[in-house]
Amino acid sequence: MFIQQLINGLTLGSIYALIALGYTMVYGVLLMINFAHSEIFMIGAYIGLWALTAIPAFASFTITGFIITFLVVLLFSGLLAVSVEKLAYKPLRQAPRLSPLISAIGVSIVLQNLIMLFVSNQSMPLPEFKTTRYQIFSAEVDTLQIFIFCFSIALMLLLNLFISKTKFGKAMRATAHSHSVSQLMGINSSSMIAMVFFIGGALGGIAGMLNGMYYGSIKYNMGFFPGIKAFTAAVLGGIGNVKGAMLGGFLLGLIETFSAGYISSQNKDVITFCVLILMLVFKPTGILGENVTEKV
């Protein structure tokens, strides 16, 4: 049972980690919580469903099919996140910090209700994927779980390389450190913020697609609990820290699955959020977070 819960936890944690990256990247640059990110996650799942429905041949484990489907999800989710930033957040950059937060909640409600009214208020199934099951000791793992874990790890490694090694990644880090100083160095902070939203939105949309594949269906309100849990993962790892978001996502997935398997499946969410409360009490900066002195 331990190995089975470990496999389930790593699979679930992969999805949480991808969503948490969107929260932590935006917070690192703008010091705001983008609560509309959970709806980008949800819409990414719908975009993936529409892509699979439009071209049924994609609904199989073929390299070409997955590449095209996920590229479509990545592009549209990223562009949607950038559009939200331009329309709802950019005009409020000089406003009090509470204003963008309220705007984010408003955008979240609007996007959720648009899907509910104009698409469907019922669960929609994804096409069935052919999977193969493998026996590992007393546990079972299928090709979908392997794919979700490996694909998520690959995306996280690519993101880490992009941020640490490329010119754009260094510009993003400079913008996160100080908007005014980065502009004096010739960096267009608005473009870097848009890039952060694009990358975060793209990862969130892909996570939505993976979540839909894992559970077999999607719904207009599917983003709420994964979004809250991913935010919890970002706080657990250290909000604003990219590696912390990855670590927090996997830890949260493991905590949730082991809680369901060994304590109570009905109270797994309670246990998960109790972990958040304990973390905020004893280490508010998270596992990899650092204490930052606020500039005045």
Instruction: Name the average pLDDT for the chain.
Output: 89
294: confidence class by pLDDT, cuts 50, 70, 90: very low
Angle at 106 between CA 71 and CA 224, to 5 degrees: 60
293: confidence class by pLDDT, cuts 50, 70, 90: very low
If you write DSSP's letter for every residue of 35-50 in order, what string do you get?
A: TTHHHHHHHHHHHHHH
Confidence at residue 124, expressed as pLDDT on a 0 to 100 scale: 93
Angle at 244 between CA 40 and CA 205, to 5 degrees: 15
Q: Between these two residues, 288 and 199, which has the higher pLDDT value? A: 199
Structure tokens at 59: 């609904």
What number is the average pLDDT over the span 137-150?
89
What is d(CA 289, CA 19) in angstroms, rounded to the nearest whole number? 18
Q: Residue type at 101?
A: L
What is d(CA 268, CA 235) in angstroms, rounded to the nearest whole number? 18
Question: What domains appear along the chain, each with residue ranges and CATH number?
Answer: 2-120+137-294 (1.10.3470)
Structure tokens at 269: 């969410």
Confidence at residue 296, expressed as pLDDT on a 0 to 100 scale: 38
Residue pair 224/36 in contact (Cβ under 8 Å)? The answer is no
Q: Is the pLDDT of residue 67 over 90?
A: no
57: confidence class by pLDDT, cuts 50, 70, 90: low
Residue pair 196/171 in contact (Cβ under 8 Å)? The answer is no
Q: Could you tell me what percent of the chain has a pLDDT over 90?
A: 60
Residue carrying structure tokens 């949309």: 205
pTM listed for this prediction: 0.92
**What pLDDT, in 10s, does the model give residues 149-179?**
999 999 999 999 999 999 999 999 999 888 8
Strand partners, 136: 139
**What pLDDT, in 10s, does the model give residues 223-240?**
999 999 999 999 999 888
Across 180-189, 267-276, 284-293, which has the greatest mean pLDDT?
180-189
What is d(CA 107, CA 113) in angstroms, rounded to the nearest whole number? 10
Q: Which of 120, 109, 127 is nearest to 219 (CA)?
A: 120
Q: Is the pLDDT of residue 252 over 50?
A: yes
